[in-house]
């Protein structure tokens, strides 16, 4: 099949490469010629495992090419995927300017029947608007259809996810268009869900909002566990064994970040507010998530009796999660900004995200290191902020010999409490009954008040 993919971000570039890997003839379009030159030279603008090899394979086989011209990209396309960004607008809405602009460009150049498919995450009503724009801009006699086919890939596993989707959702007002788009995905075992525009648009937002809510629930239970002396890992593992709940996305940590959950949860809340529909449960998820990283810094502050000024922290992790170099809405950045705001210095290491973090965080009171141990010499504590698997394998005796104080704040529950404490550390995690947690529970005046009122917590 002849496919055009507009946009070379996470969804577009991975989509182009994967569609070509499936044997289609694919043209990727982006206005940024410098970015296209890099991609063609084998330098990926994003870190995604498997992506460079797949792009190189498509270019070598001759069924994947790139252009900065929409007209050229869509010339022979039967299906045109719009994969441009929908960042958060000022009011919490999704900013659709790129999507609508691309729709206009497609309309102005289209000279044959094609299905125009939005893969970008777009709110209810957008596909109808795309259709209207195409009606206004295409030459008379040129036929087209519009479909919505939201993408469910996660960063860091995007190539695998596109090859192994849990479902393919295709929404349109044209049954023929749905079947044409289904052709692209029909070799995959995943179910194809055929529906209208609004259902397809909402399935994506509802999925992300519910996943975010699961995480927030685990984070809330972690807060409770900190106070009652229970282990949130044990609790959520057992809760997740119920097939009605499911085991995934119940890991407590520093709250959800990234380029998707924050903007999508905001956009869903914005849609409801525009319709004057209260969604207090969703508001609870948003508000609770905003507090998780603050609670973590509060822990650090409690341990140091509120005196963070002049302290140095060895920080591991800058990316919003493991497997990516993306730092957008990264909880790690938020923690670092708070530590710096309180007068602390930070030395940080991330296996992939340093370059992007420098752009966002600069270098004031912040030094970037080339390996985890370089961050530690003479530091007042080690702080783990991203769940890179390599942090699980730290040489703890080396860590102990480098740090000024043997103190670890683990915002991602990466380490085994028993082992860390046996190695002589004071250890803090998220919702785990560690030696460090017991120390600060004794210092927290609100908590102490509850204890003396006879609640008897965490004794
Ligand atoms: C998310 C969804 O998982 C994808 O299905 C969706 O397609 C994508 O958004 C999107 O809309 O484009 P992504 O943002 O790449 O993917 O990352 P996730 O793996 O979902 O993680 C999001 C955040 O939640 C991260 O900050 C992560 O550390 C955090 N998280 C995740 C937890 O704190 N606990 C968990 O158990 C899982």
**Residue 64 CB–ligand 1 contact under 6 Å:** no
Taking the alpha carbons of 7, 8, 11, 16 in that order, is the dihedral positive or negative? positive
Catalytic residues: 260
Residue 20 exposure: Cα atoms within 13 Å on the Cβ side: 26
Distance 334 CA to ligand 1 centre (A): 17
Q: Which atom in ligand 1 lies closest to the alpha carbon of residue 259?
A: 14
Cα 212 → chain centroid = 10
pLDDT, residue 458, reads: 46
Classify residue 185 as exposed, middle or buried by CB count within 10 Å of its CB (0-12, 13-18, 19+).
Answer: middle
94 lines ligand 1 (CB under 6 A): no
C-beta atoms surrounding 42 within 10 Å: 11
Residue 202 has pLDDT above 70, yes or no: yes
What is the C-alpha separation between 416 and 394, in angstroms, rounded?
11
Q: How many CA atoms lie within 13 A of 369 on its CB side?
A: 16
**Residue whose CA is closest, atom 17 of ligand 1?**
154
For ligand 1, whether the C-beta of 152 sits within 6 Å is yes
Give pLDDT, residue 450.
66
Strands 366-368 and 144-148: unpaired
Answer yes or no: is the C-beta of 250 below 6 A from any ligand 1 atom: yes
Q: Percentage of the chain surpassing pLDDT 70?
A: 97
Kindly tell me if the per-residue pLDDT of 364 is higher than 90: no
How far does the centroid of ligand 1 lie from the alpha carbon of residue 154, in Å? 6
Model pLDDT, residue 343? 97
Nearest CA to ligand 1 atom 19: 154
Band of residue 442 on the pLDDT scale cut at 50, 70, 90: confident
Is the pLDDT at 399 greater than 90, yes or no?
yes
What's the whole-number mean pLDDT along residues 83-104?
94
Instruction: Enumerate domains of the chain plus CATH numbers.
Output: 2-195 (3.40.50.720), 285-452 (3.40.50.720)
Residue whose entry in the numeric block shows the structure tokens 């493991």: 322
Angle separating helix axes 435-443 and 280-303, nearest 10 degrees: 90
Question: Is residue 456 very low, low, confident or very high in pLDDT (cuts 50, 70, 90)?
Answer: very low
| Closest atom of ligand 1 relative to the 254 alpha carbon | 33
Nearest residue to 345 via CA among 310, 306, 383, 380? 310
* C-beta of residue 197 within 8 angstroms of C-beta of residue 173: yes
State the residue for tokens 């017991």. 438
Pocket test for ligand 1, best of 86, 155, 214 (most atoms within 8 A of CB): 155
| Cα 276 to Cα 355: distance, rounded to the nearest angstrom | 42
Regarding the beta carbon of 121 and ligand 1, being less than 6 Å apart is answered yes
Closest C-alpha to ligand 1, atom 16: 154
Confidence band of 447 (pLDDT split at 50, 70, 90): low
Q: Whose CA is nearest to atom 10 of ligand 1?
A: 260
- Phi (first) and psi of residue 180, to 5 degrees: -65, -45
Q: Is the pLDDT of residue 446 over 80?
A: no
Q: How confident is the model at residue 449 (pLDDT cuts 50, 70, 90)?
A: low
Q: Is 251 near ligand 1, meaning CB less than 6 Å away?
A: yes
Say which range, 26-30, 172-176, 452-456, has the weakest mean pLDDT.
452-456
Sheet containing 79-82: order of strands:
64-67, 25-29, 2-6, 79-82, 114-118, 144-148, 167-172, 191-195
Give, for 345, the enclosing helix (H) or strand (E): strand 345-349
Q: What is the pLDDT of residue 448?
A: 63
Widest pairwise Cα distance in the chain: 80
pLDDT averaged over every residue in the chain? 95
pLDDT, tens digit, 9 for 90 and up, residues 259-287: 999 999 999 999 999 999 999 999 999 99
């Amino acid at each position: 099949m002849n496919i055009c993919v507009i946009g070379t971000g996470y969804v577009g570039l991975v989509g182009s490469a994967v569609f070509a890997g499936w044997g289609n003839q694919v043209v990727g379009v982006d206005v940024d010629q410098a970015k296209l030159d890099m991609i063609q030279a084998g330098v990926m603008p994003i870190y995604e495992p498997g992506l460079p090899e797949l792009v190189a394979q498509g270019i070598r086989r001759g069924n994947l090419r790139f252009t900065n011209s929409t007209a050229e990209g869509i010339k022979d396309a039967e299906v045109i995927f719009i994969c441009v960004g929908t960042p958060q607008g000022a009011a919490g809405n999704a900013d659709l300017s790129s999507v609508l602009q691309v729709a206009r460009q497609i309309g102005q150049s289209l000279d044959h029947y094609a299905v125009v498919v939005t893969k970008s995450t777009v709110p209810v009503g957008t596909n109808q608007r795309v259709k209207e724009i195409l009606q206004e801009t295409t030459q008379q006699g040129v036929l087209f259809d519009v479909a919505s086919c939201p993408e469910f890939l996660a960063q860091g596993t995007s190539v695998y996810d596109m090859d192994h989707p849990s479902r393919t959702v295709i929404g349109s007002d044209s049954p023929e268009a749905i079947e044409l788009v289904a052709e692209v995905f029909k070799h995959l075992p995943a179910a194809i869900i055929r529906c209208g525009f609004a259902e397809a648009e909402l399935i994506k937002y509802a999925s992300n909002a519910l996943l975010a809510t699961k995480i927030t629930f685990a984070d809330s239970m972690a807060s409770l566990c900190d106070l009652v002396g229970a282990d949130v890992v044990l609790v959520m593992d057992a809760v997740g064994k119920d097939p009605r709940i499911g085991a995934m996305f119940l890991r407590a940590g520093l709250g959800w970040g990234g380029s998707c959950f924050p903007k999508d949860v905001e956009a869903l809340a914005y849609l409801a507010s525009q319709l004057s529909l209260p969604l207090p449960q969703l508001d609870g998820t948003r508000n609770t998530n905003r507090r998780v990283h603050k609670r973590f810094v509060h822990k650090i502050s409690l341990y140091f009796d509120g005196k963070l000024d002049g302290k140095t922290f060895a920080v591991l992790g800058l990316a919003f999660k493991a497997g990516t170099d993306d730092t957008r809405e990264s909880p790690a950045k938020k923690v670092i900004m708070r530590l710096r705001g309180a007068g602390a210095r930070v030395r940080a290491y991330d296996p992939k995200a340093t370059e992007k973090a420098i752009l966002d965080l600069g270098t004031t009171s912040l030094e970037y290191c080339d390996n985890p141990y370089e961050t530690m010499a003479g530091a007042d504590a080690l702080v783990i902020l991203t769940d890179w698997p390599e942090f699980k394998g730290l040489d703890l005796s080396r860590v102990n010999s480098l740090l000024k104080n043997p103190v670890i704040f683990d915002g991602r529950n990466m380490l085994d409490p028993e082992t860390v404490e046996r190695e002589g550390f004071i250890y803090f995690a998220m919702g785990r009954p560690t030696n460090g947690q017991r120390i600060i529970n004794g210092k927290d005046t609100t908590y102490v008040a509850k204890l003396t009122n006879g609640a008897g917590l965490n004794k």
